[in-house]
Amino acid sequence: MKVMVSIPDDLLARIDAAAAERGESRSAFLQEAARMRMGEPDPEVTEAIAWVEGLFDDLPADIPPAHVLIRQDRDSR
Protein backbone atom coordinates (compact mmCIF):
# COMPACT_ATOMS: atom_id res chain seq x y z
CA MET A 1 0.00 0.00 0.00
CA LYS A 2 1.24 3.46 -0.83
CA VAL A 3 0.82 6.20 1.77
CA MET A 4 1.54 9.91 1.89
CA VAL A 5 3.50 11.17 4.89
CA SER A 6 5.13 14.52 5.65
CA ILE A 7 8.88 14.49 6.27
CA PRO A 8 11.08 17.60 6.57
CA ASP A 9 13.47 18.08 3.64
CA ASP A 10 16.63 17.75 5.72
CA LEU A 11 15.43 14.55 7.39
CA LEU A 12 14.47 13.03 4.03
CA ALA A 13 17.94 13.81 2.70
CA ARG A 14 19.48 12.03 5.70
CA ILE A 15 17.13 9.06 5.24
CA ASP A 16 18.11 8.74 1.59
CA ALA A 17 21.79 8.98 2.42
CA ALA A 18 21.51 6.32 5.15
CA ALA A 19 19.49 4.04 2.88
CA ALA A 20 22.01 4.43 0.06
CA GLU A 21 24.85 3.64 2.45
CA ARG A 22 23.12 0.36 3.30
CA GLY A 23 22.17 -0.38 -0.30
CA GLU A 24 18.46 -0.16 0.56
CA SER A 25 15.55 1.67 -0.99
CA ARG A 26 13.94 4.55 0.90
CA SER A 27 10.83 2.44 1.34
CA ALA A 28 12.74 -0.55 2.78
CA PHE A 29 14.69 1.74 5.10
CA LEU A 30 11.53 3.36 6.50
CA GLN A 31 9.80 0.00 6.94
CA GLU A 32 12.79 -1.31 8.90
CA ALA A 33 12.86 1.86 11.01
CA ALA A 34 9.18 1.40 11.86
CA ARG A 35 9.72 -2.23 12.85
CA MET A 36 12.65 -1.21 15.06
CA ARG A 37 10.59 1.53 16.71
CA MET A 38 7.85 -0.98 17.50
CA GLY A 39 10.32 -3.50 18.93
CA GLU A 40 9.30 -6.15 16.42
CA PRO A 41 11.65 -9.16 16.50
CA ASP A 42 13.94 -9.56 13.52
CA PRO A 43 12.75 -12.82 11.87
CA GLU A 44 16.22 -13.52 10.45
CA VAL A 45 17.70 -13.46 13.95
CA THR A 46 14.85 -15.52 15.41
CA GLU A 47 15.53 -18.21 12.82
CA ALA A 48 19.28 -18.18 13.44
CA ILE A 49 18.79 -18.53 17.19
CA ALA A 50 16.63 -21.61 16.59
CA TRP A 51 19.38 -23.24 14.49
CA VAL A 52 21.68 -23.36 17.52
CA GLU A 53 19.26 -23.76 20.42
CA GLY A 54 19.94 -27.01 22.27
CA LEU A 55 22.66 -28.07 19.82
CA PHE A 56 25.24 -28.51 22.59
CA ASP A 57 23.03 -29.54 25.50
CA ASP A 58 24.72 -32.95 25.61
CA LEU A 59 28.26 -31.62 26.02
CA PRO A 60 29.94 -33.04 29.14
CA ALA A 61 29.61 -30.73 32.11
CA ASP A 62 33.32 -30.86 32.87
CA ILE A 63 34.34 -29.06 29.67
CA PRO A 64 35.79 -25.69 30.69
CA PRO A 65 33.79 -22.57 29.86
CA ALA A 66 34.26 -20.92 26.47
CA HIS A 67 36.36 -18.01 27.69
CA VAL A 68 38.90 -20.46 29.14
CA LEU A 69 39.05 -22.44 25.88
CA ILE A 70 39.41 -19.28 23.81
CA ARG A 71 42.25 -18.11 26.07
CA GLN A 72 44.01 -21.45 25.56
CA ASP A 73 43.42 -21.27 21.81
CA ARG A 74 44.79 -17.73 21.46
CA ASP A 75 47.82 -18.40 23.62
CA SER A 76 48.68 -21.62 21.79
CA ARG A 77 48.79 -20.13 18.28
Partner 1 sequence: MNALLLDSSVWLAWSRRHGEPNHPAAAAIIKRRERRELEVCLLDLTPYELGNVIVRAWRRPAVQADRVVTAVLRIAGVEPLVPSPHERRAAWGLAEEHGLSGYDATYAAVAQSRRLTLVSGDLRLQDAGFAVAPAAVA
Q: Which residues bind partner 1 (CB under 8 A)?
A: 35-36, 39-42, 44-49, 51-57, 59, 61, 63, 65-67, 69-75, 77
Minimum distance from CB of 23 to partner 1 (Å)? 12
Residue 69 CB partners (closer than 8 Å, separation 6+) = 63
Closer of 8 and 54 to partner 1 (Cβ): 54
Q: How far is the CB of 4 from partner 1 (least distance, A)?
A: 26
CA–CA dist 19, 14 (Å, integer): 8
Rg (CA), the chain: 22
